[in-house]
Homo-oligomer: A and B are copies of this chain.
């Protein structure tokens, strides 16, 4: 058998993963990797932390050098070599060596496209000024870091409230800058539903971030440097430094020009084996369109985990092991100071758009047994189907242990579990780590009660309307808690008094109950339901109310 020749376009997550796996499967293959930038296999998820000085050693960002790849994997890595054209009919690519500006061609038996994504840069006046930065690669990060050190900026505006925007905002605040964050949408972190994002909004403001939601930049004003940003409402924000974190789009240009099929999301179309419309060309990573694991819809999920998996699969498929990619579920996590924000699966917006029916519940469990020191509270939301309770998504905002619960839920989603399966999870318990009923179990018990008809639930977004239609609102907390703040119009009947005070509750009206986190209101709801009241528990309790009314 002739040794096969495989070209890899792009040397970061999917490309590097594909090339290394390919070598492990095939010692004889000729493998050439082209990277248009100066570095391969760099830690792009670490860039904000390098800018902020959390990662102190620049070298630590460079996970593999071309020399490493040659010695360990016998891969011919060509940095500063950009593939400018694919000629599928001839199984050739055109390459431009950016150091010499010379072009040359290479043939292939198989081509792997892993060109990644490009930052979204809106065509606004002044956006090309020298102090407007993006954070996509090591030179970008060097530029911001250098600017901060030499120019001593006092103020910064971050545009975009996604992962990079929030991480950069944190880093710039930690560096002592006064930071404004502009987000066009009414919330940051689109993976979260609005009420969950509100918890983060509170925390961002508490930490001193000038958070501007539903705000749009229209121009970057100043001479060669931005001095201020003009917003759509006409106001100006002074800014010595601008960071764009508006998200990315797939780098699909090369594939499109070569006549490869482009998907409905604008990313490169691939089949389940990650093969493009040309049988000798595979593609993976931030440039490709995948199936959503839950809805089966066409989806664009530019995340490092799926990119690495796809690279690995492509190598297997080229070596004749047919392994499908089973879709992305969008598991994601963000650190902002002491807060951890995480999501997996679908949120309400996405389920509504896909026409999938769902139920949700909220709880506020502690990271571990409260009698052991250091427990912190988190807010967790579960989304599940109303018929069989299949888990569709989850969102958690808190501190310690958020990452653990989201990963358990991500695993449960991958396994196709429903809420009754989730009740049965036997997770490892000792007081420093969890409670005998883990937060994941608790979510499942609440959801199970809803599915079994043991409780009906309503949501704060609907309460005002239900009250205006005559619903009777009960606060099931203690008089002390009630005194320190309650929902307008609520009647305080503590859970421990409810059995003796049934006569105070109107039989002919809908009853809505809340407490602080939802446990006492649940017990109250059960007592009232068994006494033939028409009663609903308000999901998330007063704790959630306090956040979303702000």
Contacts and interface: CB of A to CB of B under 8 A. Distances in A.
Contacts of A60: 370-371
A335 B368 CA distance: 13
Given A45-B429, A163-B430, A426-B305, A411 B404 contact: no
Contacts of A434: 333, 403
Interface stretch (A218-226, A348-356, A466-474, A522-530): A522-530
Interface stretch (A102-110, A119-127, A241-249, A323-331): A323-331
A372 B414 contact: no
A437 B14 CA distance: 12
B27 A530 contact: yes
Interface string A299-320: 0000111111100100000000
A488 to B, nearest CB: 27
Contact of A27 (B163, B410, B527): B527
A346 to B, nearest CB: 13
A371 B48 CA distance: 12
Contacts of A305: 426-427, 429, 436-438
A210 interface: no
A297 interface: no
Interface residues of A, number: 88
A445 B71 CA distance: 23
A305 B423 CA distance: 11
A431 B46 contact: yes
Most chain B CB inside 10 Å of its own CB: which residue of A71, A426, A495: A426
Interface in A422-452: 423-434, 436-438, 441, 445
A257 to B, nearest CB: 29
Main secondary structure of the interface of A (DSSP, over half): mixed
B415 A428 contact: no
A87 interface: no
B428 A46 contact: no
Nearest to A411: B411
Given A407-B408, A431-B46, A329 B426 contact: yes
B436 A308 contact: yes
Contacts of A454: 24-25
Contact of A54 (B370, B372, B406): B372
Contact of A411 (B312, B412, B527): B412
B373 A72 contact: no
Given A61-B371, A411-B412, A428 B344 contact: yes
B433 A333 contact: yes
B43 A424 contact: no
Contacts of A408: 407-408, 411
Given A305-B436, A421-B414, A527-B27, A369 B430 contact: no
B526 A24 contact: yes
Contacts of A415: 411-412, 415-417, 421
Most chain B CB inside 10 Å of its own CB: which residue of A328, A371, A373: A371
A341 to B, nearest CB: 10
A304 B55 contact: no
A140 B445 CA distance: 34
A515 to B, nearest CB: 12
A304 B61 CA distance: 44
Nearest to A413: B426
A327 to B, nearest CB: 9
B372 A46 contact: yes
Nearest to A26: B530
Contact of A373 (B55, B304, B438): B55
Most chain B CB inside 10 Å of its own CB: which residue of A163, A438, A496: A496
B431 A43 contact: yes
A431 B371 contact: no
A509 interface: no
Interface string A394-406: 0000000001101
A430 B54 contact: no
A190 to B, nearest CB: 15
A378 to B, nearest CB: 14
A342 interface: yes
B404 A403 contact: yes
A286 to B, nearest CB: 12
A412 B421 CA distance: 12
18 contacts: A43-B371, A46-B371, A46-B431, A55-B371, A71-B496, A72-B523, A308-B436, A331-B427, A332-B429, A333-B434, A335-B433, A344-B428, A404-B407, A408-B408, A410-B427, A411-B415, A411-B425, A412-B415
* For the complex of A and B, 4 pairs with smallest distance between CB atoms: A415-B415, A333-B428, A404-B404, A304-B436
Interface of A: 13, 24-28, 43, 45-46, 49, 54-55, 57, 60-61, 63, 71-74, 163, 293, 303-309, 312, 326, 328-335, 340, 342-344, 369-373, 403-404, 406-408, 410-412, 414-417, 421, 423-434, 436-438, 441, 445, 454, 495-496, 499, 522-523, 526-527, 530-531
Given A305-B438, A344-B426, 14 more contacts: A26-B530, A27-B531, A43-B431, A45-B369, A49-B372, A55-B372, A60-B370, A303-B429, A309-B441, A330-B426, A332-B428, A335-B432, A404-B407, A415-B416
